[in-house]
Amino acid sequence: MNADTLESAIAAFVATLRVTIRTEFTSIWLPVQIVAIVLAGLAAVAIGTLLRRRFDLMSATESWPAYLRLAIRALIENFGVLAFIVLVSAVRSAIEAGAAHPRTYLLHVAVNLATAWVIIAIFASLIRNPFVNRVVAVTAWTIAALSILNLLDLTIGALDARGIMLGGLRVTPLLLLKTAALLLVALWAGTTFSNFVVRRIQDAPELTPSIQTLIATLVRITVMTVAIVIVLSMVGIDLSAFAWFTGAIGVGIGFGLQKIVSNLVSGIILLADKSVKPGDIVSVGDHFGWVTNMGARYTSIDTRDGREILIPNEDFVTQRVVNWSYSNDLVRVDVKFSATYGSDPRKTQGAAIAAALAVPQVLKLPAPLCHVSAFGTVAVEYVLWFWIRNPNGDPLTVRSAVLLSLWDALDREGLSLPKPGPTRVILDQAS
């Protein structure tokens, strides 16, 4: 549509609107319809409030399927609008049946607008995202209202009349609105579908956590890419028109986005080779903790002290990483302690091993070991080795239990400890 055609259409619409307004305002039926709509609206509000108080349909539908329950709740929230539709329709029927040459155009428009709102509200309620729900509902009702008022074609023509050329693509307000609306719906649908697939993948016990995360990441990327391509094709955008844009992206990656791409590729490599996976205990630089989540850009490390550290995936590829649970879930805990020279060393070793075995988390196989590590100036120094399974069980908690058990065992055997000194725990991977 060119500018002349648009101006002619607007002029014709304005002329028609003037005739309609002149006809309606000179007729008694306009105030009658307005009063009927206002009274019906007030009565509908009262009826809707009364019905919601008298009938608790939300509690009655708790056991229903999720989507059906959402639709019923949307219907309950629009009880007042339904009452408005019934009342206005009854008034319109009464006027048409009892008056000669009645004019009920305004009542007809009010009923259609209210009906469109209820239908759209019910379908939009199936969208659980509040922002997408509101945008879809308002957009759909605006389009329905324009269609009911016979303004949709004129509005489309006005939005498509002006545009700019970007390469071989003509960009108009209509194209932008259509693309934005379709992208919003497509991305919501893609997210919902990918979440459904990811939940099914996570329920597959035969897949390791790293493979599950890798497949889930690839599914999300693929679904979103397909959704965007479909939307661009639906609105008639030739993807070759974005050649200049993809070239600009390539330059941007070369200058400023290389770290993001590096982290993305590193994340895919980590998920593919399974060198680091959710649940592992790792040390990266000065950071030590449990891997809780692996994303496209970073890996989350839980330090168990209230902090969660986000480490870029690139660091796991370029830096030295200690994975305490790479090949198995056995972790060795070393506890150093001392006993006086008056205590029998062999008896002290036996008491230490028995103390470790008395703690439920300590494994019988591999068996605990106790060695004399040095002859100190005032005491004999020992090191007690024991193994635990499932490093997520917190080695420090087990260490504390072993130390208390060791204290009791040495006391029972009559073995004495020197003045307490600092002890420390050394974690090592079981061979």
DSSP collapsed to 3 states, the chain: CCHHHHHHHHHHHHHHHHHHHHHHHCCCHHHHHHHHHHHHHHHHHHHHHHHHHHCCHHHHCCCCCHHHHHHHHHHHHCHHHHHHHHHHHHHHHHHHHHCCCCCCHHHHHHHHHHHHHHHHHHHHCCCCCHHHHHHHHHHHHHHHHHHHCCCHHHHHHHHHHCCEEECCEEECHHHHHHHHHHHHHHHHHHHHHHHHHHHHHHCCCCCCHHHHHHHHHHHHHHHHHHHHHHHHHHCCCCHHHHHHHHHHHHHHHHHCCHHHHHHHHHHHHHHHHCCCCCCCEEEECCEEEEEEEECCCEEEEECCCCCEEEEEHHHHHHCCEEECCCCCCEEEEEEEEEECCCCCHHHHHHHHHHHHHCCCCECCCCCCEEEEEEECCCCEEEEEEEEEECHHHCHHHHHHHHHHHHHHHHHHCCCCCCCCCCCCEEEEECC
pLDDT value of position 2: 46
CA 285 to chain centre: 30
Which residue in this structure is represented by tokens 């002349």? Answer: 4
- Could you tell me the two tokens for 164? 């700019």
Which residue in this structure is represented by tokens 């972790």? Answer: 331
pLDDT value of position 174: 78
The half-sphere exposure of 271 on its side-chain side, counting CA atoms within 13 A, is 25
pLDDT value of position 70: 72
User: Measuring CA to CA, which residue among 429, 428, 410 is closest to residue 334?
Assistant: 428
pLDDT value of position 357: 93
271-304 pLDDT, tens digit per residue, is 777 778 887 878 887 777 888 888 777 888 887 6
Mean of per-residue pLDDT scores for the chain: 77
Domains of the chain from N-terminus onward: 3-161 (no CATH), 164-253 (no CATH), 269-323 (2.30.30.60), 330-429 (3.30.70.100)
Q: Mean pLDDT of successive 10-residue segments in the chain (431 residues)?
A: 52 58 60 81 82 66 67 76 85 79 78 85 77 79 81 76 70 80 82 84 73 79 84 72 61 65 79 78 79 82 80 85 73 87 91 92 90 90 87 72 92 81 48 42
- Could you tell me the two tokens for 395? 């080695």
pLDDT value of position 425: 45
394-412 pLDDT, tens digit per residue, is 677 888 899 999 999 988 8
CA 408 to chain centre: 51
pLDDT value of position 405: 92
